[in-house]
Amino acid sequence: MNTKKETLSMVLTALFTAIIIIMAFTPLGYIPLGVINATIIHIPVILGAIFLGPKKGAFLGFIFGLTSFIKNTVTPATVSAFVFSPVLAASQFGVSGVFKSAFICFVPRILVGVFPYFVYVFIKWLSSGNAAKVKMAVLDAVISLIAFAGLAQLLGKQMKSGSTGLAVVIAVAIFAILMVVSVKNDTGVIAYAYAGLTGALTNTLIVMPSIYLLYHDAYAAATNVAQDALLGVIVGVIGFNGVIEAVLAAIIVAAVSGALVHVVPTYANRK
């Protein structure tokens, strides 16, 4: 039995690794949305966390970071590629640049393979037992309030009026969708969705603030943004790209996991 588990784990690890590499070096890792291209390369890492556990999830996250490092070093697409390339950073900033870029390139991606597993386990626990629906309703309400706060700030910068009302409408819609899924949850869909959401936000919420803190002046100069306007740009990327990628991750991870679990049990259920 242990041999079968180990073989299954090795096969899935190799499969997810191959998918990450293919996505990273082809357009398959991005979904064009008109205004932006939303990355979905982190999705195999999140799936790895759910079905292989946090250790192998961390390994897959390292592979994700490694592909980013190679791509930004060998074929840098922008003048700010040094942010994800310790090699380029070393040539511009010396030894300190190596550590800064290595942190941004690898640490958030490794954590993408760790945090979703624990969120998945937590949501599965929360959505079972006594008062499960009440507990899930509270969690859904908290998530909706956080979404409202972020949307109100983001829309406030884009709209002269009506931003608060629109933020309320969207937040209420998010709460309604979460409640419907939570109430009808018989297959762990909500746990998969929250894991996907967590993985995507982990990447965005660590990478972008790290760029601001570690490369404030250099990144502003490389992107032709005024230094006093950089924080607004960072917040905008988090609020727009980050939210879209998080929603996509929640939907795709829930859909793929819901199908995959009928063939492969999650790591938590194999322990």
* CATH at residue 86: 1.10.1760.20
pLDDT tens for the 271 residues of the chain, in order: 577 778 888 999 999 999 999 999 998 887 765 444 578 899 999 999 999 999 999 999 999 999 999 999 998 877 888 999 999 999 989 999 999 999 999 999 999 999 999 999 998 888 777 777 787 888 888 888 877 777 776 666 666 677 778 878 888 888 887 777 776 655 578 889 899 999 999 999 999 999 999 999 999 888 888 888 888 888 877 877 787 888 889 889 999 998 899 888 888 876 6
Residue 160 resides in a domain: no
* Greatest Cα-to-Cα distance within the chain, rounded to the nearest angstrom: 63
Q: Which position has the token pair 């037992």? A: 129
DSSP lists the bridge partners of residue 39 as 30
Residue 77: helix, strand or coil by DSSP? coil
Residue 151 resides in a domain: no
pLDDT score recorded for residue 35: 45
**Domain total in the chain:** 1
Domain assignment of residue 253, given as a range = 2-127+185-270
C-alpha 59/C-alpha 49 separation (Å) is: 10
Residue 203 resides in a domain: yes
Residue 75 resides in a domain: yes
C-alpha 153/C-alpha 254 separation (Å) is: 28
pLDDT score recorded for residue 137: 82
C-alpha 248/C-alpha 52 separation (Å) is: 21
C-alpha 47/C-alpha 195 separation (Å) is: 9
Q: What are phi and psi of 38, to 5 degrees?
A: -85, 125
Residue 148 resides in a domain: no
Residue 149 resides in a domain: no
With 0-12 CB in 10 A as exposed, 13-18 as middle and 19+ as buried, what is 184?
exposed
Residue 167 resides in a domain: no
Q: Which residues contact 205 (CB under 8 A, 6 or more apart)?
A: 238, 242
Residue 155 resides in a domain: no
